[in-house]
Chain A
Amino acid sequence: MARFDYLEPRSLDEALRMLADGGNSTRLVAGSTDFLVRWRTGVWRPDSVVCMQHVPGLDHITWNPDDGLSIGAMATVQDIEQNGDVRSRYPALVAGATAFAGVQVRNLATVAGNVCNASPAGDTLPALLAYNAQCRIIGTGGERWLPMDEVFVAPGRTALESGEILTEIRLPPPAENTGGLYIKHSPRGAMDISAVGVASVVSLNADGTCASARIALGAVAPTPMRAYGAEGRLVGQIPDAANIAEAGRLAAQSCNPIADVRSGADYRREMVRVLTERTLSHAVATAGNPPSYDDIRRLAVQTAW
């Protein structure tokens, strides 16, 4: 419970200045849901905290057919879960949002904060990876765009440089005939950190073959990760049961889970296989015909299928 200076910038420029002044002993917070826990237990002891709550213009969620979905850095997980455009076009992200902690936490936590926290188990991250999201990053030297699969470096570490701020996350518009789902494996139906999370997004050609398949895995490696090998197995193929099963096996092979209080490593690997199959099957079955929000909620947290 170390003391710190609490700073509330009113503009992005001011926030960047405060970050630059504070150097490495400053921490940027949005919803503070990760920060407060680690501060209270003494894991994080910053000298100052820069809170983004009063920086205007960062809490939007907008969609248009050309640019796709734009998520402002201060948009909460609850905003994502409740957004009609997200629900109709990005079901795997809605699943990640609804599987995320509980309502109280979702009301504060931001998607951008989930990215910057860079937990391998972050529930929105596999879907962001599977939708090929891009991150807009602003620093004192200007802005740059970074693809999501280059953001995560290590547990708790991103490719953001000191003094940089993630301001926007953009998801390209999904192709025709796209389906997707995220399933979180947890012993409990809510308020839990995932033992395994898998997101699959599949786009089908008119002939039923796979135009693209993106599979992302959570909590089974030091960072959230894409299962490129499994994806490659499906592209150009008919996603039938045999191909999906093979993709599941490849995804399981590609991950590198640990054993901890939640689960053993072998079980995690096996769950990657099962959840990859289940999310792929669902994505194929619902391609071009997104599931209802109630269906997503029912499927997002796997206690028993």
Chain B
Amino acid sequence: MTTATQFKVLEQNHPRVDAYEKVTGRAAYASDVYLPGMLACKLLPSARNHARIVSIDTGEAAALPGVRAVITGTDFPDIRFGSGALRDRYVMPREVVNFVGEPIAAVAADDEATAQEAIELIKVEYEDIPSVVNPLSAMVEGAASVHPELESYEGYGFTLGHNVSTLLDADRGDVEQAFRDADVVVEDVYRSQGINQGFLEPMACVADVEPSGRLVVYASTQGPYQIRAGLAAVLEMPVSRIRIVPMELGGGFGAKLRLAFEAFPALLAMRTGRPVKLVNTREEVFTMNGPRLPVTNYVRSGVMNDGTIVAREAYTIFDVGAYLGAGPNSGIGHGIGAYRIPNFRLRSYGVYTNKIYVGSYRASGVADMTFAVESHMDHIAQQIGMDPYDLRLHNALREGDVSVSGAVVPSNGLIETLEAIKEKMEWPRQLEDGHGLGLALCEWRSGSGPSTAAISVNDDGTVSLLTGSTDISGSDTSLAAIAAEALGIPMGSVIVAKRDTDMAPYTGQSGGSRVVYSQGTAVQRAAEDTVQKLMALAAERLGVPEDALGCEDGRVYVMDNEPQGLTFAQLAAASITSRGGPIIGTAALSSMPYTPVFATQAAEVKVDRDTGQIKLLRYVQAQDVGVAINPMAVEGQLDGGVVQGIGRALTEDQQFDPDNGAVRNPSFASYLMPLAIDLPEIEDVLIRVPAEDGPFGARAVAEPPGFGPPAAIANAVYDAVGVRVKQLPLSGERVLAALNGDYDEIPFDVEALRLAEGII
């Protein structure tokens, strides 16, 4: 096993490479961009959730002094685009609005107040169309149709009709036989709520048209190349005519992976010839930009008396709102959890409704799946009279098992995370009345996708690292640490370049637990390429064969005669006149092998029997990180993720009007994220089973911490007071209702879904 002492840079705490800029307030975010002659952009939200736009009268708005341009949907090319394969939306609706809040016009004016005044002068005449807000109602024959022309959309695949945008399936074994053979069958329906990503920095961008006609967009984004592609599509421009400059990112969590509102200031800049800035208000973030929408989950398991789970059936309904902003993939990818279940039938539906479209958030849907699957595990344990820990240990995936996707599970630290939590929580433990303990297992995979890196050696012996990845949660610091470790130089000798889409090579988004694992591998390989080139040059200059050389501490030397050698500085200087020229190491890759990430989490709670409120007393997590590139940053990600999960468990709830789907609480005053005062200290245990791939054996870290809290806390509530709440958040109101015995099970017609598919 790899140990910390092998490393010179990794496994040690490093402050962020951009710490000085951040703490002095000098780091520049998109809203800090001020260009000469810059205009302010404001948006007009739709007042209806499903209506034909009869007319939009912008005359009075355009005539207001200080207003420079007004645009509506028909000012854009008549092109549908999409967040995934299915092209189901216009960047701004042309004829029909599909949710309350959908931007239907934009104004550029000399200042924000004038732009807002103009917005209020725009007159829209709507003609209402029947709408549907509840996804379960939307799936019923005869329901109002959100997209009547769905089948004509580019990218349309197999669905069952009735507002189903996507239906995914995964099957293995003989499910019916396995259920017949099972000693016990356990069945549950769970429902999780709408969740806002809650990033600190609202969407912001500045668009500018250069004299050559090239469009430059300064943006707050996780995916500069993806925004470039999105803009190119909706503006009908070649990507080469667009440059995206990613500014510092004030949080994204998936909400900034794709094109958001950049097209509006872009088109306004093209119309006016002046730079245009758009900075969203928090209310706009809540009502215009896709959050996570409620998920309903039917799950059934066949179990033997010894605890072996032999069959699983799961039907998951993802409300996708007006547009498929993020797919329902996790419904099948995470339907069996971190367990070996030989027979399964998993179905995942993405269902359109007339409310804000669904967006991405820290492994979209997996937290919902984990709440269902891990609550269900405790229900199974209770039904067969087994300890929830023992049940998990008995069924946990082991090396060599086949994962739900069909990939063979490589070596991993799942069992170690379980054992670490058992020890840390002293499980099982007798507690006083009203107190309880709960567990949850979390599983994810290290993120893959195109990754590139280039390292050039400066003539003072430092290196400049160039990647296309925007910094997310300190990823620049981790990439610098990987480069430093691979090159054998200190962290301070790695300069991380600020980049844009003209300068840096193409790369995937900063999201999905991808940057350190995949991008980091590219950086490691680029560093190795750099070392190889330095060694080749040194061999030439020193007149010795390459295999006689070693490389350490920023110096290439002759292994038999250590004083004989050349420093990186000397080699960089020499390289300028060498045959090969200046030293640049590069690497590129398109995908990475399946590398799972497992975590076990545990909550200790106290339940107030009179109010139903839950006090979280302790939260402990153990995660297999492979190798901790920068332990301080790893713990930061683990803690941050758990806190987001605790919010999901206890207080966060983006609510929608049942009649028109409008967001009912578009503010941090009514959408309650947890505060420091609400949290216990989060206790972290890092398990280190090195990954077979990934930089120096590191696994991804970011996503799993957020998955566990809803189930761990719900399970602890059951342990404390004997009631199982199957709906999130676990509000005082719900827990008290359950304590009083008037808690309603969630209705779910699984027979209808089986029948529709021909399963009897």
A interface list, Cβ under 8 A from B: 1-3, 41, 185, 187-193, 261-264, 267, 270-271, 274, 302-305
Contacts and interface: CB of A to CB of B under 8 A. Distances in A.
Given A187-B650, A189-B678, A305 B611 contact: yes
Contacts, number: 63
B606 interface: yes
B608 interface: yes
Interface stretch (B24-32, B445-453, B555-563, B729-737): B729-737
8 contacts: A1-B113, A41-B283, A188-B651, A188-B675, A189-B678, A193-B670, A264-B733, A304-B613
B183 interface: no
B733 A263 contact: yes
Contacts of A302: 611, 613
A81 B661 CA distance: 41
B733 A274 contact: no
Contacts of A188: 651, 672, 674-675, 678
B655 interface: yes
B733 A190 contact: no
Interface in B269-327: 283
A68 B179 CA distance: 75
Given A187-B613, A192-B672, 13 more contacts: A1-B116, A2-B117, A185-B732, A187-B651, A187-B731, A189-B677, A191-B669, A191-B675, A261-B664, A271-B611, A303-B615, A304-B611, A305-B611
Q: How large is the interface on B (under 10, 10 to 19, 20 to 34, 35 or more residues)?
A: 20 to 34
A254 B309 CA distance: 53
A303 B665 CA distance: 21
A183 to B, nearest CB: 10
B719 to A, nearest CB: 16
B751 interface: no
A190 B677 CA distance: 7
B681 to A, nearest CB: 15
A166 to B, nearest CB: 25
A189 B675 contact: yes
Of the listed residues A187, A188, A261, A274, the one surrounded by the most CB atoms of chain B closer than 10 A to its CB is A187
Nearest to B673: A188
A3 B650 CA distance: 40
B644 to A, nearest CB: 15
B112 interface: yes
A271 B611 CA distance: 7
A188 B651 CA distance: 7
Nearest to B733: A267
A304 B608 contact: yes
Given A1-B116, A188-B651, A305-B611, A261 B736 contact: no
Contacts of A187: 613, 650-651, 672, 731-732
Contacts of A262: 670
B701 interface: no
Nearest to A41: B283
A268 to B, nearest CB: 9
Interface in B651-676: 651, 653, 655, 664-665, 669-670, 672, 674-675
A304 B733 contact: no
B86 interface: no
B737 to A, nearest CB: 8
A303 B612 CA distance: 10
B610 interface: yes
A305 B611 CA distance: 9
Residue from the set B608, B672, B737 with the largest chain A CB neighbour count within 10 Å = B672
B736 A270 contact: yes
A294 B711 CA distance: 33
